Each structure stands twice: as structure tokens, then as C-alpha cells.
Amino acid sequence: MALVLANPVNRALLERLPALDLPDSAVVAGCLFQSVLNGITGNEPTHGISDYDLSYCDLTDLSWEAEDRVIRRCAEAFADLGVDVQVRNQGRVHLWYEDHFGAPSEPLTSTNNGIDHYLTACSAFGVRPGVGPD
């Protein structure tokens, strides 16, 4: 966990996420894996990270408009970080996945359910706000 939090962007995302009040939210995937790999290999904590992924799961409104409102709120909340933050409602993934990747996706019921379906095992994890280095 300390290597994930050594990346100041991961730390800022996790610190600010609670104020956004997004259901079932977590920082996920490659930005976590790459931060750990960077720590192990001696690279700077942000080295090689092209974007930061934030997942949440809101099953009450699966419209694009609702997700877009969240994306815009997050863009404003994280604008000063100077990085690309990709925000996705896991509840909507099945609505666009086949068009984007060419294969259907079953409806996801949580952020953890989404993580369980990641294509690469090395990035199949997430960190929720309120955790600290162990």
C-alpha cells in the first residue's frame, strides 16, 4: 500500500474522493499497478502512467447524462492535478462494452464486480478512500 500512496496523484485522488460522494467508488487498475512497479524498480512514482482510473457503481441511473455529470464533477475536482482521470460507472459498462471491445459484457453490480472482470490480472485491484500505508 505504501508504494501506491507514494504516488502523489493516487494519494490526492483518494483524499478527495469522499467529498464527491460517489457510490461504491475506488481508484483502480493501471495507475495502482504502475505505481507499485515504479517503487520496485526505482522509478519516479508517476513514471509511465498515462491516466488514472476511478470507478464507481450507481445502479439507480444508468443514463449517459448521469455519468457525464459525474465525469464533469470529477474533472473539476481533480483539474489542478494535471493528469487524465478516467471516470466510469460500472453499472453502465454493459451498455457500451460490446461496441467498444467487440464482445458482450454482463451487467456489473459493483466496483468489485467490475474489477473481477478486468482483462489483465496485474491491474485487477482497487483502493478505496480511508486506507493508509501498512
Each of the 134 residues of the chain gets a pLDDT tens digit; together they read 999 999 999 999 999 999 999 999 999 999 999 999 999 999 999 999 999 999 999 999 999 999 999 999 999 999 999 999 999 999 999 999 999 999 999 999 999 999 998 888 888 999 998 754 43
Q: Does residue 57 belong to any structural domain of this protein?
A: yes
Gap between the Cα atoms of 4 and 32, Å rounded: 6
Question: For position 25, which CATH number holds?
Answer: 3.30.460
Q: Does residue 11 belong to any structural domain of this protein?
A: yes
Q: What per-residue confidence (pLDDT) applies to 122?
A: 84
Q: Does residue 39 belong to any structural domain of this protein?
A: yes
CB 85, CB 74: distance < 8 Å: yes
Q: What per-residue confidence (pLDDT) applies to 131?
A: 58
> 3-class DSSP state for residue 122?
helix
Indicate the number of domains in the chain. Answer: 1
Q: Does residue 59 belong to any structural domain of this protein?
A: yes
Q: Does residue 87 belong to any structural domain of this protein?
A: yes
Q: Does residue 69 belong to any structural domain of this protein?
A: yes
Q: What per-residue confidence (pLDDT) applies to 130?
A: 78
Q: What per-residue confidence (pLDDT) applies to 133?
A: 44
Q: Does residue 134 belong to any structural domain of this protein?
A: no
CA 93 from centroid of its chain's CA atoms? 13
CB 98, CB 5: distance < 8 Å: no
Q: Does residue 73 belong to any structural domain of this protein?
A: yes
Which residue range forms the structural domain that includes residue 36? 2-127
